[in-house]
């Protein structure tokens, strides 16, 4: 029987026991995402999709009003993941930041890999990125399940 490395504790915190190598991978991916998130990069478009389709004027207005707040929330979540990367116990707030940041990282990695809306992964020679994408999917599932328990 599989025993999840992420489990709710009786005090409301979460036991978080992933390996040192898995933690290092998360830190590497999150650090890369943090560095890229403030630069123009087409792989980040899925993190900030235009809310009004092709209406450039309305999209620009939305970006002016809410764009910085959305960016700041993502940066804060990434920073919280990086700050708790070595923790064996997380609060619900910290685990939720992990969940959001892992999802964001998967969107970016999926875009780099050419994963389509149906989730089909094309053939790729970039096995490292594909491995990170797949592991983060597994970790995201464990995180969502732990938060739902």
pTM above 0.95, yes or no: no
**pLDDT value, residue 119:** 62
Share of the chain above pLDDT 70, in %: 97
Give 61-103 pLDDT, tens digit per residue: 877 787 788 899 999 999 999 999 999 999 999 999 999 999 9
Is residue 132 predicted with pLDDT exceeding 90? Answer: yes
Asked if residue 46 is part of any domain, the answer here is yes
- Calpha distance 138→97 (Å, rounded): 16
Residue 1 included in any domain: no
Say if 72 falls within a structural domain. Answer: yes
In a domain, 109, yes or no: yes
Q: At what angle do helices 20-36 and 92-113 cross, to 10 degrees?
A: 70
What angle do helix axes 92-113 and 68-83 make, rounded to 10 degrees?
110
Mapping DSSP to helix (H, G, I), strand (E, B) and coil, where does residue 100 land? helix
Q: How many CA atoms are closer than 13 Å to the CA of 126, on its beta-carbon side? A: 14
- The answer to whether residue 108 sits within a structural domain is yes
Residue 48 has what pLDDT? 79
What is the average pLDDT value for the chain, to the nearest integer? 91
Does residue 73 sit within a domain?
Answer: yes
Which of these ranges, 5-14, 60-69, 133-142, has the smallest mean pLDDT?
60-69
- Residue 34's pLDDT is 97
Amino acid 77: pLDDT: 98
Give the domain extent around 98. Answer: 6-148
Rounded to whole angstroms, how far apart are CA atoms 80 and 4?
Answer: 22
Number of domains in the chain: 1
| Rounded Cα–Cα distance for residues 14 and 37 (Å) | 28
């Amino acid at each position: 029987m599989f025993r999840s490395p992420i489990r709710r504790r009786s005090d409301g915190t979460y036991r978080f026991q992933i390996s040192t190598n898995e933690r290092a991978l998360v830190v590497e991916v999150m650090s890369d995402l943090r560095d890229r998130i403030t630069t123009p990069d087409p792989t980040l478009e899925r993190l900030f999709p235009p809310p009004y389709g092709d209406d450039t004027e309305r999209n620009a207005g939305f970006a002016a009003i809410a764009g910085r707040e959305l960016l700041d929330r993502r940066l804060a979540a990434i920073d919280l993941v990086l700050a708790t990367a070595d923790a064996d116990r997380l609060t619900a707030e910290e685990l939720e930041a992990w969940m959001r940041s892992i999802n964001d990282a998967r969107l970016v990695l999926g875009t780099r890999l050419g994963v389509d809306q149906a989730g089909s992964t094309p053939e790729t020679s970039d096995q490292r990125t594909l491995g990170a994408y797949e592991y983060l999917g597994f970790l995201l599932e464990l995180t969502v399940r732990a938060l739902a328990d």
